[in-house]
Amino acid sequence: MQRLRHLVHIAAEPAFGLCRPVHPDACSRRAPKGIGNPSPSPSDGDHRPAGRVFTSIVVSPCHKLGGVAIIINMRQCLGKITAIIERMVDSFARRDNIFKSKYENTAVALLTFKPDPHQIKFYEQVAALGYRVFVFVDDNDFVIPASKAVRYIKIDEDRCISRGYILLNPVISKNKRPQVSAWEKALFFFNVIEPGFDNVWFLEHDVFIPRADLITAIDIKYSGDDLLCARTDVVNYDGTLEGWSWWKFIPIDVLPLPWAASMVCAVRISRSLLGHLDDIIVENSDRVTKMGISSEVGEGQEKYLFIEYLFNTVALHRGLRMAAPPELSTITFSRSWQPSELDDEHLYHPMKNISEHDNLRTLVKGKRNIGVAKAMP
């Protein structure tokens, strides 16, 4: 911004004279060939001192309004232009600061086992928009690289287990030892270590985001919602166990009917909902921890606080606001997404070939440019 102001002042520097109406006879004099040329000699009819720089410029052809010729003072005009541009610069600066201050209190959490360097470069673009970006690393042997844009997080599993953050994502964590994944670590982090964010985006590593500011576009449209996810219309009112294999794993004494569910590979959760989740997890920590550590229950009798029904059910019971943005409708369990299906208005899951994400972003951007060109008259 300072650089732009400096350039504006330089552009306004040439010394032009004062603007004033003159007698129409002045129009007969020829304007100088260039700014800063010596003024005509007195013998040519100009009564100003010889050698003075001609500092006014006459509009040609000369305009006569009521017998008065308009002589434009370029310095005054440029001064006004400078003031306008400076106000615009200040306006953009204020808007930029307001935007950044607003989204600095929204965190973006990338959930990984071992981060991909290309993916980190993309999330650095997200951080440049004003978000606080955290990369949760499930591989405790991973050597964290230096980065000023994103913050890498590794958490000891025992810390999570001690508070009941275990088996929240049994699809992954059930087969791990200990039974804690990046999901449990991220939820623990934002509830216990840094609970001060208004909203947190949780994004699994195989979620494809075509452009960094798509997250911003969703945040602007859904600024007041407590849960953004792929579905809000999947609600089980009568406790039927048919239709989805995970219904039978719900601890009904902890999560009574109705139940709600959604894919949550890309989800935004508010501070309010995170607090309610922590209350339930902590209240049932002994039970869930024992289930994870021991083999007291038989196969098929396990009960989990699985995030795919935990988030939506708790939000439903607490009367919190939920929304299913169209941008998240392409978050699916299993699908082979083809490049021809992609656009820059949706997040996609699963897309596990992380090394190809940058190439796909270039492809999607090219498709958009072609569409814009075709739409132009």
pLDDT at position 301 is: 67
Averaged pLDDT for residues 264-272: 98
Q: Residue 52 above 90 pLDDT?
A: no
Query: Which residues on adjacent β-strands are paired with residue 141?
Result: none
Residues 26 and 33: their CA atoms lie apart, in Å, by: 16
Please indicate, yes or no, if residue 377 is contained in any of the structural domains.
Answer: no
Averaged pLDDT for residues 356-366: 95
For the chain, the domain total comes to 2
Task: Pick the closest to residue 311 from 297, 324, 298 (CA basis).
Answer: 324
Based on the domain organization, do 112 and 137 belong to the same domain?
yes
Q: pLDDT band at 236, cuts 50/70/90?
A: very high
- What tokens appear for 361 in the block? 């972003």
pLDDT at position 102 is: 57
pLDDT at position 172 is: 83
Q: pLDDT band at 366, cuts 50/70/90?
A: confident
Q: pLDDT band at 286, cuts 50/70/90?
A: confident
Based on the domain organization, do 142 and 35 belong to the same domain?
no
Q: Residue 232 above 70 pLDDT?
A: yes
Instruction: Select the more confidently predicted residue: 14 or 357.
Output: 357
Based on the domain organization, do 178 and 72 belong to the same domain?
no
Q: Residue 283 above 50 pLDDT?
A: yes
Based on the domain organization, do 126 and 245 belong to the same domain?
yes
Task: Pick the closest to residue 217 from 352, 351, 327 (CA basis).
Answer: 327
C-alpha dihedral over 130, 136, 141, 143, to 10 degrees? -10
Based on the domain organization, do 72 and 121 belong to the same domain?
no
Cβ-Cβ contacts under 8 Å for 5 (sequence gap 6 or more): 86, 89
Domain end call among 58, 91, 124: 91
Based on the domain organization, do 148 and 184 belong to the same domain?
yes
- Residue 315 identity: A
Averaged pLDDT for residues 293-321: 81
Q: Residue 248 above 50 pLDDT?
A: yes
pLDDT of 62-102, one tens digit each?
A: 444 444 444 445 566 666 776 666 666 555 444 444 444 45
Based on the domain organization, do 223 and 279 belong to the same domain?
yes
pLDDT at position 302 is: 79
Domain that holds residue 37: 2-91
**CB-facing half-sphere around the CA of 205: CA atoms within 13 A:** 22
Please indicate, yes or no, if residue 100 is contained in any of the structural domains.
Answer: no
Q: Full-prediction pTM beyond 0.85?
A: no
